[in-house]
Amino acid sequence: MQIWARALVVTLLVQTTSSFVSASLPLLGPVLTMRWGMPPEGIGYVSAMLAFGICWFLACGNAMLEHLGPVRSLQAGLAVMGLGLAFLTQPHWAFGLLGAMCFGLGLAPNTPAGSQILIRTSPQRHRNLIFSLKQAGVPLGGALAGASIASLAQIAGFHGTIAALGLLVLISVLAVQPSRQQLDADRAGNWPDWWRMFAHPSAIGRSIRILSVHVRLLQMTAIGVSLQLLQACVTAFTATYLVAGHGQTLGAAGQAMAILLSASAIARVVFGWVADRTDAGLLILSLLAVAAGCATVWLVNVDPASTWPFLTCIVLLGSSALGWNGVHMAELARLAPVDQVGEVTSAASLLGFIGTVLGPVAFALIVTVTGSFPLAFMIVASQLMIVGTIAILQLIRTGSFRDRE
């Protein structure tokens, strides 16, 4: 197997597994909030803690990545997610928040470690496509979870479902072990006290300052933050909105999420291929931002009982609101200096996941105050349509539609 193919298999496997496990949080949201005595919108605070864990790693985890190497860092992340699963089994909401934070800490290495592996091994002419295939593991894992978690919970119960997720994590850790020696070749191993950096505030500033290397990095990061905010709210609240707002069963909501995430998995590959052919990553991201905002507005105005309009809305929402990540990550890696790919993608993702933290919290507060899920969806859609429109107008003004112009 060629090294780029091995790298893609390893990163896609870990990405899919970690996404499958993390998707269990919103899908089990009604069960978890009931166990913890929280209102349905309380799952937003759980999702925010997951995002906080991601931000914490992206701000301070680069030393760990350099010391352990990208593959070992991915394995360590999966192990931390296993710890998070153990916390979820506890009946008190505080343990649930701690478990969600562990999910975030374990999920976060996928972005910098995966980018470091793929930028070094992938052929340049297919880079967007390969990055998009790897990023397709995010919705693929979510779609598989959406199609199976509800049924698994009915058959095996809550604790049986958590045990099955833990077994999946263990199998994935062992499966990538044979590739570690080859893909961890650039491991520095010179940060024996890497763990101290997780409590070092200066790591955050250093991560963000790295984005000043290229003006397009700042543009890519800005639109990524806005897209990430909407994506966080769509993934965290759609299932709960369908159950609480439309009386859908947990199984029906899970099926809708499976369709949404399957559409996004296909869209990520398609948009990656288009970006390779057109060299217009920023334009594609700007158009997707406007489309995602429109699809979200449609979501709150369509009746789930109207099968085909609802399914069309879900497919468009998944394709646009969750289909952008591969192009975004590939463009960030392309613009970054070769020896700073991990830092650049970590910094951009850090800012994006700040939106992931604030988005669900603000969404939950809006629902708590107004009692309206549709209003909250409309607000997060509006900010994205504004950002996307501004980006398109700026591209028209400068005439630089292609990324290398």
What pLDDT is attached to residue 154? 87
The pLDDT tens digits for 210-231 are 666 666 777 788 888 899 899 9
**Which of 165, 58, 69, 59 lies closest to 109 in space, CA to CA?**
58
User: In 3-state terms, what secondary structure has residue 80?
Assistant: helix
What pLDDT is attached to residue 200? 61
| CB burial string 246-285: b at 16+ within 10 A, e below | eebebebbbbbbbbbbbbbbbbbbbbbbbbbeeebbbbbb
Please tell me the number of Cα atoms within 13 Å of 169 on its side-chain side: 26
CA torsion, points 33, 38, 42, 48, in degrees to nearest 10?
-80
Domains defined for the chain, CATH in brackets: 3-178+199-398 (1.20.1250.20)
The pLDDT tens digits for 251-265 are 888 888 888 988 988
Give pTM, 2 decimals.
0.71
Q: What angle do CA 214, 68, 212 make, to 5 degrees?
A: 10
pLDDT by 10-residue block (mean), the chain, 405 residues = 87 94 83 80 78 79 78 92 92 87 91 85 82 84 83 88 94 92 70 60 60 71 89 88 82 85 88 84 90 94 88 94 86 73 73 78 89 93 93 82 57
